Amino acid sequence: MKIKDFANKYQIQIDTIRYYEKENILTPIRQKNGYREFDEECEKQIQLIIVLKQLGFSIKEIQQLLILRDDQSISNECKESTLSLLDQKIMKLEERVQFYQRALKVVQTIKELASEVKYLEHIEEIERLMLSLFIKDL
């Protein structure tokens, strides 16, 4: 598949795909005419990249994970660094899960208050509940 079709399929900008290739996290096949060809392996790569980006991984962190996956001869220091990174990501994800659990309860409570047709009577409580969800650096 050509770059335009690949970009459309995954709803990614063509420049982003080129950037991923430049950063060696996406490796399309280069044809003799220089065009990129995106095969099933590229599709697996982009799907992994998309998931990792959604989980909050930076490009540098994705590179680090791919090195761990692809290079069996990496140093113990590199392995330890990657494991530490994964521990940090686990903690961040757990924080996000807790946040969304709290947010769900708040929204359910707001719905209950709003459905009582006394929404204006509860407006201060609703605002307090909404503001209780505010946290920096989610």
122's torsion region: left (phi>0), alpha (psi -120 to 50) or beta?
A: alpha
> CA-CA distance, 129 to 138, in Å (whole number)?
17
The pair phi, psi for residue 116, each rounded to 5°, is -80, 5
Tens-place pLDDT, residues 59-118:
999 998 888 777 777 778 888 888 899 999 999 999 999 999 989 998 898 888 777 666
- pTM > 0.85: no
> CA-CA distance, 74 to 76, in Å (whole number)?
7
Contact (Cβ atoms closer than 8 angstroms) between residue 77 and residue 113: no
Residues in the chain, overall count? 138
Tens-place pLDDT, residues 101-115:
989 998 898 888 777
In degrees, to the nearest 5, what angle opens at C-alpha 57 toward C-alphas 101 and 15? 125
CATH fold of 1-74 reads: Multidrug-efflux Transporter Regulator; Chain: A; Domain 2 (1.10.1660)
> CA-CA distance, 27 to 39, in Å (whole number)?
10
Contact (Cβ atoms closer than 8 angstroms) between residue 49 and residue 25: yes
